[in-house]
Chains A and B, each alone.
Chain A
Amino acid sequence: MTTTVARDTHVAARATDVWKVYGTGEAQVVALRGVSAEFERGRFTAIMGPSGSGKSTLMHCLAGLDSVTRGQVAIGDTVVTGLGDSGLTKLRRDKVGFIFQQFNLLPTLSAMENILLPLSIAGRKPDKAWFDTVIATVGLGDRLGHRPSQLSGGQQQRVACARALVARPEVVFADEPTGNLDSRSGAEVLAFLRRSVREYGQTIVMVTHDPVAASYADRVVFLADGSIVSELFEPTPESVLDTMKRLDVLSGEAGV
């Protein structure tokens, strides 16, 4: 069954029965328990769940930053599971973009240089039209020559988004990209991400625990205790919150 699905061209990233176990013996933590999920091309998907539910772990496994204990992960038609370091580096360079919660930029480079970094590392020239589009979308104007330390948090995060987008990766993974920002800067970053999906067909998978942030996505996947427990399309902050409350009650009942 996996082989047939793997050929599906509208899937950008896929997890198949992924287990992730940290540590051994007493200290063993099962972070993911048989997660299977598909992330469609050109869609903005949010992964939600309470703290410690395994969101970051799932994202790391999907992006090839961490190995899975069992199961399989694929990005596009590349099977990530089992790739060596050079394969993973190539994957990260060519197919995946990253946005982290903090420490996203190199302090020694200007904003512009930071944006172009993945391309320079790969030794590729930016697609001029796309590059201009991205730069215009970031909306930094004349501050592109500045160092990160001279930019606000929101501006820095937008630079990080632009950097993730400029190489046109298969998927952009974002781990709580607005976690460190005030709500206005956060909204700017999220709007930027949504535009890149709506207007340019970029695929984005975003981890968050903020219902408002999740409502910018096309689809929300809910994680609890290492398993996918629910799913929501065309979310609004209210519907996300409702689902979370419902899940809380459920897990509360389960706990009794």
Chain B
Amino acid sequence: MLRATLKSLLARKLRLVLSGLAVVLGVMFVSGAFVLTDTLGRSFDQVFSTAYSQTDVGVAAKPKVDVDEFEGEEAAAPFPTSTVDKVAAVPGVAKATGFVSTDGARLIGDNGKAVTSFGPPQLGESWNPDDGLTELREGRGPTADNEIAINVTLADAAKVAVGDKVGVLTREPRQDFTIVGIFGYSGDRDSLGGVQQVEFTPPVAQKLMLGETGVWNGITVKAASGVSHDQLRDDIAAQLGDGYEVKTGQQLADEASGALKQGLSFFNNILLGFAGVALFVGIFLILNTFSIIVAQRTRELALMRAVGASRKQMIGSVLIEAVVIGLVASVLGLGAGVGVGALLAFVFGSVGGGLEMASVGVPAAAVISSFAVGLLVTVVAAVLPALRASRIPPVAAMQDVATPDRPLTKITVAGAVVGAAGGALLALGLSGNAGDSTLWTILGGVLVTFIGVALLTPLVSKPVVSLLGRIFSWSVPGKLGRLNSGRNPRRTAITAAALMVGIALVTGVTVLLGSAKSSITKLAEDTINADLVISGAQSGPRPPSFDPVVLDEVKAIPGVRAATGTYGDLGEVNGDREYLTAVSDIAALKDVYRAEPSAGDIGTIGPDQMLVDSKTASDMGLSVGSRLTVQLSRGDAQTYTLSGIYKESDLYGGFVLPVQATKDFAIPQPTQGYIQLDPGTTASQVEPQVDRLLADSPEVSVADRSKFIEQQTSGFDQILTMIQILLALAILIAVLGIVNTLALSVLERTRELGLLRAIGLRRAQTMRMITVEAVVISMFGAILGIVVGTGLGAAVVRALKDDGITELVLPWSQMGLAVVLAAIVGVVAAILPAIRAARLNVLGAIAHE
């Protein structure tokens, strides 16, 4: 039995390759995700163990506000030199060195633009040539206040050399320095994970990076020989008391690497999500392949039953095929995944600024999950066909029966039930009553809905396919193609359903993002009352900022009525973490945002007063006169009195502080500026002048209102493109499905094709017939996908109505494009099967059974 199974398996290599390919792609994503995470993770480990190799124990002050990886960066907490002396006095300390090292030193490169970084920090530091790690490659260290040394990574990124005069942006606006040295690291390293470093003399570093001289934000401790690092850490911690974090170098390296790995797991989940989509679509493909194979082998299988094979053996024989395909596909997918993972890790590393890669690793998790997923998917997909095979009666061997059309009642009822269940799950998830599992409920709802729709598809396929087919019925081959595509509704349905999934997801996401974008645009247009806006595109965790002096200079331009800047910080209000805003000119901002007061005065704000919006006020039970304790990124907590409440706005945050508070912001510079003009002055008159004023703040630029809104929403388009590219994979798998179904149908209809050729159908006509069949199926899938996707997208949009997505935008042109693309896909998918059909030997097809 096993032998017979394996033999018939080998005889049908091509079909199995096609159906296995879907699993290969899915498994590739799964294993690729694991390999990527593992390789990058170990690369991070390496980088940080090097970075902390010279640190036995590290000391830092506790941050004023704890900040999560995804919320932004933690502000450094400065401490005085006396703390360094205290640590140096602890027994067992050989040497304690205070240092300045924080993110936010942006060098202005030779193109006049600030050098950006996608991830690794841009450190501004106090020069310390004796740290055992730094090695000068060229020049010397900074000795004067207007001198800096930079690392090789930064010199390469900025295209600058020793002797160049460059500007550097820090907490302070642009200041100019001469580069006197370029350095790398011991052990011939040029890069440390893509970090950019600017080294100042210590007082300059203190002033620019920490905001005051005479303070540090870290201490490196060298232990005396024979002193245990753990012991020393505990001794120092005991000496310093609360308010300081004391860790061994090993701990620091692990933590730093761990934080980055956590960021990676997000990326990992996205990859796994797409693997899920690919595999889900793959199930349709495999199910169809096995069903067709079983149908074609009805006689053969019946013969086996007639000569004594049991039902169990029949099921077993189909499932063994599935297991073999699953195994082979898993092996191939794993191999491809290692390649893809390594490639992605490489791309990731080089985009991130030159992370030195650890060797590519294949973790056990990658292997195990590859095989588990590959096998599971194939076997699950083969269960139904296996059951069908076992139900073939032995007499079928003696009869020449074409399997009669089974009625669609059962499958339709099942589809209605499953579809309703999916809709209910979806409704539950979207209603917001599902609590923590909202996301899973929605995803589950989508999945179940897809299955329900797939089950309903055979019923729908009859009228839709025959309608679609009429477009092609003017020619005989077209008519035959149409009839063929309506011939086996189940087969057509599953093939089309596979395409439906990909297209539905793309359509749904497009509806959702398009609606969100349009809603935000509308809101911004209704709300923002500024003629010009200063802002910049954010690339790392740190938003671009500009010199506040620019705002005063802008105000002086004739025709400018008002100019105000907004600052942002992540702080704590009464102990809860909140985003806080500060404004340089509160009256102007009120006008810019057309804010309406609901209590108190919102047109002025004193140095110890603050404003909140009506929603925050009611959530926190505040009224004018309430007192709030605010802890900002730096400095001590301060009490503010609520002086006004403005009506809730979706664009504008909940807490507004006076501009005086910004000295304790992590970024003490405005991140956005709004300019209002006198009547009669046009934006284009003022824009170039503002542009000139921003010459020393290269991270931001000025744009008129509509351009600004466009910039702000351009992120949606990028996300959409990315999702579309990844979902294209699901569509590719569906195309494989069409190729496969057609190829099998051609094989199945060999005699029929022979007959047609014998009575005069030309090769080109034969190909056209197959092509029409493919086009009809794929257009059917596309239309189905568009309908389902629009439904899903619209449901989500409706559910988010209260969250600000008020517009429903249907991407008509994209839908049209999808149908046209589907037609092209059909043509492409038909190429191979059509050639095969046209090459058919007429005699061979009709003369022999």
Q: Specify whether A and B are partners.
A: yes
B424 to A: closest C-beta gap in Å:
40
| Contact code string A65-98 (vs B, CB < 8 Å = 1, else 0) | 1100000000000000000011001101110011
CB contact list, A88-110 vs B, under 8 A? 89-90, 92-94, 97-98, 100, 103-109
Residue of A nearest to B404 (CB): A149
Please judge, given known A-B contacts A66-B843, A120-B476, A121-B765, whether A107 and B402 are in contact too, CB under 8 Å.
yes
Residue of A nearest to B476 (CB): A120
Q: Is the CB of A121 within 8 A of B760?
A: yes
Residues of A within 8 A of B476 (CB): 117, 120-121, 123
Residue of A nearest to B765 (CB): A121
Q: Is the CB of B763 within 8 A of A85?
A: yes
> Interface residues of A toward B: which range?
20 to 34
A135 to B: closest C-beta gap in Å:
18
A170 to B: closest C-beta gap in Å:
13
Report the Cα distance A40→B332, complex, angstroms: 63
| Contact code string B738-772 (vs A, CB < 8 Å = 1, else 0) | 00000000000001100111111111010000000
Residues of A within 8 A of B760 (CB): 89-90, 92-94, 118, 121-122
CB contact list, A215-235 vs B, under 8 A? none
Stretch at the interface among B300-308, B385-393, B444-452, B480-488: B480-488
**In-complex Cβ contact of B402 among A104, A123, A149 (8 A):** A149
B492 to A: closest C-beta gap in Å:
13
B630 to A: closest C-beta gap in Å:
77
Report the Cα distance A92→B487, complex, angstroms: 27
**Does A163 reach chain B (CB closer than 8 Å)?**
yes
**Does A60 reach chain B (CB closer than 8 Å)?**
yes
**Does A56 reach chain B (CB closer than 8 Å)?**
yes
**Does B842 reach chain A (CB closer than 8 Å)?**
yes
**Does B847 reach chain A (CB closer than 8 Å)?**
yes
**Does B846 reach chain A (CB closer than 8 Å)?**
yes
Q: Is the CB of B757 within 8 A of A89?
A: yes
Residues of B within 8 A of A100 (CB): 755, 846
Most buried by A among B476, B752, B759, B761: B759
**In-complex Cβ contact of B483 among A92, A98, A108 (8 A):** A108
Residues of B within 8 A of A97 (CB): 759
Residue of A nearest to B766 (CB): A89
Report the Cα distance A100→B480, complex, angstroms: 21
Report the Cα distance A108→B465, complex, angstroms: 15
Report the Cα distance A109→B480, complex, angstroms: 8
Q: Is the CB of B759 within 8 A of A117?
A: yes
Report the Cα distance A163→B480, complex, angstroms: 17
Please judge, given known A-B contacts A56-B847, A60-B847, A121-B765, whether A109 and B483 are in contact too, CB under 8 Å.
yes
Report the Cα distance A122→B487, complex, angstroms: 24
Q: Is the CB of B755 within 8 A of A103?
A: yes
Q: Is the CB of B402 within 8 A of A92?
A: no
B114 to A: closest C-beta gap in Å:
68
Interface of B is mostly: helix
Q: Is the CB of A108 within 8 A of B758?
A: no
Residues of B within 8 A of A149 (CB): 402
Report the Cα distance A117→B756, complex, angstroms: 9
**In-complex Cβ contact of B758 among A85, A92, A107 (8 A):** A92
Most buried by B among A56, A85, A121: A121
Report the Cα distance A117→B760, complex, angstroms: 9
B779 to A: closest C-beta gap in Å:
20
Residues of B within 8 A of A117 (CB): 476, 756, 759
Number of A-B contacts (CB under 8 A): 66
Q: Is the CB of B761 within 8 A of A89?
A: yes
Residues of B within 8 A of A90 (CB): 760
Residue of B nearest to A164 (CB): B759
CB contact list, B628-653 vs A, under 8 A? none
Please judge, given known A-B contacts A85-B763, A117-B476, whether A106 and B758 are in contact too, CB under 8 Å.
no
Please judge, given known A-B contacts A60-B843, A89-B763, whether A108 and B480 are in contact too, CB under 8 Å.
yes
Q: Is the CB of B759 within 8 A of A163?
A: yes
Report the Cα distance A103→B753, complex, angstroms: 11
Q: Is the CB of B755 within 8 A of A86?
A: no
CB contact list, A161-176 vs B, under 8 A? 163
**In-complex Cβ contact of B842 among A65, A105, A163 (8 A):** A65
Residues of B within 8 A of A65 (CB): 758, 842-843, 846-847
Residues of A within 8 A of B402 (CB): 107, 149
Q: Is the CB of B487 within 8 A of A108?
A: yes
Residues of A within 8 A of B761 (CB): 89, 121
| Contact code string B106-144 (vs A, CB < 8 Å = 1, else 0) | 000000000000000000000000000000000000000
Most buried by B among A60, A106, A107, A109: A106
Report the Cα distance A253→B847, complex, angstroms: 33
**In-complex Cβ contact of B756 among A56, A106, A107, A122 (8 A):** A106
Report the Cα distance A90→B476, complex, angstroms: 16
Report the Cα distance A104→B483, complex, angstroms: 18
A150 to B: closest C-beta gap in Å:
12
Report the Cα distance A238→B805, complex, angstroms: 92
Residues of B within 8 A of A109 (CB): 480, 483
Residues of A within 8 A of B752 (CB): 103, 106-107
B703 to A: closest C-beta gap in Å:
62
Report the Cα distance A117→B475, complex, angstroms: 11
Q: Is the CB of B847 within 8 A of A98?
A: no
Report the Cα distance A108→B756, complex, angstroms: 12
Report the Cα distance A60→B155, complex, angstroms: 81
Residue of B nearest to A163 (CB): B759
Q: Is the CB of B843 within 8 A of A121?
A: no
Report the Cα distance A123→B475, complex, angstroms: 9
Q: Is the CB of B751 within 8 A of A103?
A: yes
Report the Cα distance A86→B846, complex, angstroms: 19
A117 to B: closest C-beta gap in Å:
6
Residue of B nearest to A63 (CB): B758
Report the Cα distance A108→B483, complex, angstroms: 6
Residue of A nearest to B842 (CB): A65
Report the Cα distance A121→B843, complex, angstroms: 19
Q: Is the CB of B847 within 8 A of A93?
A: no
A113 to B: closest C-beta gap in Å:
9
Report the Cα distance A92→B843, complex, angstroms: 13
Residues of B within 8 A of A123 (CB): 476
Q: Is the CB of B758 within 8 A of A98?
A: yes
Report the Cα distance A86→B752, complex, angstroms: 19
Q: Is the CB of B759 within 8 A of A86?
A: no
Residue of A nearest to B760 (CB): A93
| Contact code string B699-730 (vs A, CB < 8 Å = 1, else 0) | 00000000000000000000000000000000
Report the Cα distance A120→B483, complex, angstroms: 15
A252 to B: closest C-beta gap in Å:
29
Residues of A within 8 A of B484 (CB): 108
Residues of A within 8 A of B483 (CB): 108-109
Report the Cα distance A81→B751, complex, angstroms: 24
Report the Cα distance A32→B544, complex, angstroms: 89
Report the Cα distance A92→B483, complex, angstroms: 24
Residues of B within 8 A of A120 (CB): 476
Residues of A within 8 A of B480 (CB): 106, 108-109
Residues of A within 8 A of B847 (CB): 56, 60, 65
Please judge, given known A-B contacts A56-B847, A108-B480, A108-B484, whether A118 and B759 are in contact too, CB under 8 Å.
yes
Q: Is the CB of B762 within 8 A of A86?
A: yes
Q: Is the CB of A98 within 8 A of B759?
A: yes
Give 9 nearest A-B pairs by CB, closest first.
Answer: A93-B760, A108-B483, A120-B476, A65-B843, A118-B759, A92-B760, A89-B762, A66-B843, A103-B751
Beyond known contacts A56-B847, A89-B760, A108-B483: 15 more, CB 8 A cutoff? A65-B847, A66-B843, A85-B763, A89-B761, A93-B762, A98-B759, A103-B751, A104-B755, A107-B402, A109-B480, A117-B756, A121-B761, A121-B765, A149-B402, A163-B759
Residues on A lying within 8 angstroms of B by beta carbon are 56, 60, 65-66, 85-86, 89-90, 92-94, 97-98, 100, 103-109, 117-118, 120-123, 149, 163
Q: List 18 A-B contacts (CB under 8 A).
A: A60-B847, A65-B842, A65-B846, A65-B847, A66-B843, A86-B762, A86-B763, A89-B760, A89-B762, A94-B760, A98-B759, A103-B755, A108-B484, A109-B483, A117-B476, A120-B476, A121-B761, A121-B765
